[in-house]
Amino acid sequence: MQTKDATEILKSLGWEPHRDKMGDMFAYYHLPDRIVRIHYGVIDYGQDSGRLWVSSSLTTVAYCLGCEYINGKESQYQYEDMLISSEENFGVTALEFFENHVKVALNKVLAWAQEQDIEQKLREESANHSLIAKALLGDIEALRNYKSISQLYTPEFSDYEKMTQVERAIFFAEAYKNNELDDLLARKKPKQRSISLTTATRILKTEGWLATEPGKMWLVLPDRFIQFDFGFIRLHDDYNVHLEAEISNEEISVACHYIHDSGKYRKISATNIYQSFNTIGGGLFSGVDKGIDIRVETLNEQELIKISERIIQWARAQDLQGSIEGKTLVQKYNYNTDIIWHLACLALTGKINVLKSYQNLLALGTISEHLESNIVEKSVKYAVEFAEKHLKILKEREVADARIGVQSLAFLNTVSKTLKMMNWTVYRDKNYNYNAYFISKDRIINIVYSFDRKGKIPVVVFKASLSTLAFSTAHRDVFFEKPQYIALKEAEEVYTVSSVEVEEGKLKQICADILEWADQQNVNQIIYDYAALPTDSEFCLAEFHLIALILTGNVKKLKFYKESFQRKNYLGFVDTITRYDIDKALTLAQGYRTFFQKTL
């Protein structure tokens, strides 16, 4: 017997099998007042014997619905939240499995489930400060006296009404007590159908976000990565929308991973940034205190686009360099994550003397006065190691600045400040060039500005280009080692301003002209043109061709490329395009194809 055979038997006995995204098998069985879940599989021990393993847990519809209300979003899987779990495994070992073996195991599971005292379990959970348990027991007074976890102020969402977990718990408790949730508890569909998470994700993808599963998205901006998770639940006539977002950049994530992973460098993309210290709302642990909750009357395309724009505004407003400096403060750190952040930020800012002082404290046995954790010794070791390597980069920056000159550097910094005031985000790329970018709908407009001393009067030169959020994000996902900003098209016109003084009016006009130029470009046609390129195109164009196939959902052509590469037929692609690049492009396209085509 194999797991699939056990699944067929479960179906015949009234169980509802389900495979999760990791490939594990579960099945549900509905008793009058509770739902039983089993996690199961068959292990083949060879000719001697095999084993059917079964672990079980149970919940109620009310408990699951209450968890959704309190978490502020619907669970991705039905009956995700379990109330009671068995410590016993109800599996069977036998030389040969028959249907009767499965039935015996299931009967044991159901007998266990019926013996469980749900009300007693809720009282135990309530005593342990469970909001959902208090809500189901009708202890509304206790909920009203409960302290909500404070969230950082988020100005980008200041015009939205906020809801806390406690407020939603009270909302649920009152509705449950007044029998206002009977239809939902009976699993009847509401008369007014709400938007689905898949549909909402599809809408957000048209704004440039990449996603391969509903509600979990990411973006690559020229100087930072954004991870964005969202979900929602209908509360009578309104929606509660739960938003989680965090940002990081390549430097921070590389340093943190190096220290955490004992000296291993990791290629960073938006999907594998190290746990961030820049999160919306200020929380760290998803499902507990991370993110913010906003209340909206209607959740439609217009509202979702507005939320997307606000998330990007929030991400761009975060001062990453200021956050790094803030983490270098020498004080007592107790948690592993805080310690790694602190050590990484010391390394990134060249404070190697502080790191070496920690090594001395380790030798003296007094490090716990500053850093208290079982990972301190190895973390300090790898932080010093990383800092010594990073000094080379810091010195390269100093040389680049010296080459520009003190006076010219001061002028470029003044230009940067003026651009910031005009809502551009300024950054230095890996070649230490001065850049600024602006987000308009799904487009990134980037300018590189530098000194030109060739004429009689030195001038600052501005060169503009544009890309799309989706193009830059997909390109970085496939080609990890390439810059985060990749231009789809460069402007032919070059703009200049006198280096004698910053003419704010002239600078505003240049930016307005650049934004007007960017708005006039047909980026969809540009992407289609790249998708139509031949496979023997030059190296950058070959990369653009693959990314365009992702964004146009051309899975068929990418599958053909993969099969050809497997047969060692490289179709004329340049040597820099590998079968791993094709594989990554195909995987991304398969998760993306149903969304982008609607916008072209």
pLDDT in tens, 530-560: 999 999 999 899 999 999 999 999 999 999 9
Domain assignment present for residue 192? The answer is no
Parallel, antiparallel or unpaired: strands 224-235 and 278-279: unpaired
340 and 376 together in one domain:
yes
**Of 22 and 294, the one with more pLDDT:** 294
Same domain, 448 and 541: no
* pLDDT higher than threshold 70 for residue 149: no
Residues 222, 287: one domain?
Answer: yes
Same domain, 86 and 74: yes
Residue 251 or 151, more confident:
251
Q: What angle do CA 95, 99, 101 make, to 5 degrees?
A: 55
Over range 360-383, report the average pLDDT: 94
The verdict on 318 and 201 lying in the same domain is yes
The DSSP annotation for 326-382 comes to HTT--S-B-SHHHHHHHHHHHHHTT-HHHHHHHHHHHHHT-GGGTB-STTHHHHHHH
Position 11 in a domain: yes
Contact 358, 380 (CB under 8 A): yes
pLDDT for position 48 = 54
Which residues in 506-521 are b (16+ Cβ under 10 Å) and which e?
ebeebbeebbebbeee
pLDDT value at residue 189:
53
pLDDT (0 to 100) of residue 150: 66
Band (pLDDT 50/70/90 cuts) for residue 288 is: low
Q: How far is CA 255 from CA 157, 348, 386, 421, in A?
A: 31, 8, 7, 31
Cα-Cα-Cα-Cα torsion 80, 84, 88, 94, nearest 10 degrees, comes to: -40
Q: Containing H/E element for 499?
A: none
pLDDT digits (tens, 9 = 90+) for 22-54: 889 999 999 999 999 999 988 876 655 677 889
Mean pLDDT estimate for the chain: 90
Q: What percent of the chain has pLDDT over 70?
A: 94
pLDDT band for position 260 (cuts 50, 70, 90): very high
135 with 38, same domain?
A: no
For the chain, how many residues are written? 600
Q: How many structural domains compose the chain?
A: 6
Per-residue pLDDT for 188 more than 60? no
Query: Is the predicted pLDDT of residue 213 greater than 60, yes or no?
Result: yes
- Residues paired with 28 in a beta bridge: 16, 37
Residue 156 gets which letter from DSSP?
A: G
Q: How far apart are CA 546 and CA 540, in angstroms?
A: 10
Query: Which is more confidently placed, 198 or 457?
Result: 198
Say yes or no to pLDDT of 393 above 80. yes
Task: Catalogue the long-range contacts made by 403-410 (C-beta closer than 8 Å, 24 or more residues apart).
Answer: 404/451, 408/451, 408/458, 408/499
Cβ atoms of 496 and 460 within 8 Å: the answer is yes
Tokens of 156: 């980008």
In single-letter form, the type of residue at position 592 comes to Y
Range of the domain at 533: 526-594
Same domain for 221 and 304?
yes
Q: What is the mean pLDDT of residues 297-303?
A: 93
Q: Is 25 in contact with 40 (CB distance < 8 Å)?
A: yes
Residue 289 — very low, low, confident or very high, per pLDDT cuts 50/70/90?
Answer: low
User: Is the same domain home to 230 and 247?
Assistant: yes
Mean pLDDT throughout 45-72? 85
Beta strands in 74-149 (DSSP E): 84-89, 92-94
pLDDT digits (tens, 9 = 90+) for 102-129: 899 999 999 999 999 999 999 999 999 8
Whether residue 317 sits in one domain with residue 421: no
Domain end point (choices 403, 434, 449): 403
Per-residue pLDDT tens for 493-534? 999 988 777 788 999 999 999 999 999 999 999 999 999 999
Residue 600 counted as domain residue: no
Residue 561, SS3 per DSSP:
helix
Q: Which of 507, 508, 421, 428 is nearest to 461 (CA)?
A: 507
Domain end position, chosen among 307, 322, 337: 322
Q: Residue 482's closest CA among 398, 576, 571, 562?
A: 576
Q: Do residue 494 and residue 576 come from a single domain?
A: no
SS3 494: strand
Does residue 268 sit within a domain? yes
pLDDT exceeds cutoff 70 at 287? no
**Collapsing DSSP states into helix, strand and coil, what is residue 405?**
coil
- What φ, ψ does residue 576 adopt, rounded to 5°? -70, -15
In a domain, residue 276? The reply is yes
Has residue 599 been placed in a domain?
no
Q: Are residues 493 and 531 in the same domain?
A: no
Cα-to-chain-centroid distance, residue 400? 34
Cα 416 from Cα 555, distance rounded (Å):
42
Q: Distance (Å, rounded) from C-alpha 95 to C-alpha 103?
A: 16
Same domain, 211 and 304: yes
- 39-48, 85-94, 137-146, 543-552, range with greatest mean pLDDT: 543-552
Label each residue of 264-303 as H, E or C.
Answer: CCCCCCCCCCCCCCEEHHHCCCCCCCCCEEEEECCCCHHH
Average pLDDT score over residue span 281-301: 78
The confidence score (pLDDT) of residue 284 equals 61
pLDDT for res 597: 43
The C-alpha atoms of residue 126 and residue 136 are separated, in whole angstroms, by 9
Report yes or no on 499 lying in a domain. yes
Higher-confidence residue: 156 or 51?
156
- What mean pLDDT is predicted for residues 293-304? 94
In a domain, 132, yes or no: yes
User: Does residue 131 carry a pLDDT above 80?
Assistant: yes
Residue keyed to tokens 């950054």: 427
Instruction: Evaluate if residue 262 carries a pLDDT over 70.
Output: yes
Q: What is the mean pLDDT of residues 9-22?
A: 91
Last residue of a domain, one of 403, 438, 467: 403
